[in-house]
Structure 1
Amino acid sequence: MPTQTAAERRAEAKVAYDAYIDKCPSRKLLDTLSDKWVSLVLVALSDGPRRYSDMARRIAGVSQKMLTQTLRSMERDGLVTRTVTPAVPVRVDYELTALGRTLLPLMAAVKTWAEEHIEEVEAARSRYDSLT
């Protein structure tokens, strides 16, 4: 095995985490983060822990299956924690981890951008649709 210089190791690491490469782990994470349910769960949990049923009510249109899959995926990625409290009925709470909380400024920026530019986007959609 040949020895690598520090520059060669950096160049290799840069290629290893290139989101344009199909098998790149960062690309898989970007796929997860771009999911609409993930972004809505992040915002729903931004004020603190919530019970599963609270999130199901707050996030309009999400099915029980999709909410469960989204929360499991986010837990696997270290973005949320799940706490089960034995009671009748069993209480399950979800909370953002420190890692999950680092996404909140990004989500707030996207939300702000959408609110500020929705009229322009809708106008562009109307122009496009009138041409097709």
Structure 2
Amino acid sequence: MSTHPILASAAETDAFSADCPTREILDRLGSKWVSLIIVALADRPHYFGELLRRIEGVSKKMLVQSLRILESYGIIDREPKKVGAVVKVCYRLTEQGKSLVEPLFAVYAWAQQNTDTMLSSQEVYNRTVSRRATHP
């Protein structure tokens, strides 16, 4: 068990244990699509089409799957709204979902501040591994 205070305080769950249900939550929340949806919804509720346009590269299928995951965990709510003759679904963060925004923004800020360094490190690593493969 880790000695970090945050991990030590969760004595009833140990994510390092193979049967810990926290692992599933970490796996789901670690998805880039899930985290991007949460960040998008932090600003305001969005309709499905708005999310699809805002999150470049996500397919309709992945967006639907990710929204279902978030809804099943109580992170988002969906509200069907009749707009003319069409029913649109509006997605918003729940109170539980809102509690994720600050920690997630901290990770995003860290990633933005460290992207150049990390990419440079990756280039150095790739060159080193490439040299090792050609010069055993």
What TM-score, normalized by structure 2, do the two folds share? 0.83
Secondary structure class of the residue paired with 2:43: coil
2:72 corresponds to:
76
1:127 corresponds to:
124
> Structure 2: which 5+ runs fail to align?
1-9, 131-136
Once the two structures are TM-superposed, the CA of residue 23 in structure 1 deviates from its matched residue by 2.0
What is the CA–CA distance in structure 1 between the aligned matches of 2:79 and 2:113, rounded to whole Å? 37
Match of 1:34 among 18, 30, 33: 30
Q: Which runs of 4+ in 1 moved over 3 A?
A: none
2:134 corresponds to:
none
Once the two structures are TM-superposed, the CA of residue 25 in structure 1 deviates from its matched residue by 1.3
What is the CA–CA distance in structure 2 between the aligned matches of 1:118 and 1:92, rounded to whole Å? 35
What is the CA–CA distance in structure 2 between the aligned matches of 1:58 and 1:23, rounded to whole Å? 36
Task: Give the letter for the 1:122 counterpart.
Answer: L
Task: Give the letter for the 2:91 counterpart.
Answer: Y
What is the CA–CA distance in structure 2 between the aligned matches of 1:52 and 1:21, rounded to whole Å? 37
1:52-108 superposed Cα distances (whole Å, 9 cap, x missing partner): 000000000100010000000100000000001234211100000000011111111
Aligned residues: 119
- Cα RMSD (Å): 1.2
Match of 2:105 among 88, 108, 113: 108
What is the CA–CA distance in structure 2 between the aligned matches of 1:18 and 1:72, rounded to whole Å? 26
> Structure 1: which 5+ runs fail to align?
1-12
1:22 corresponds to:
18
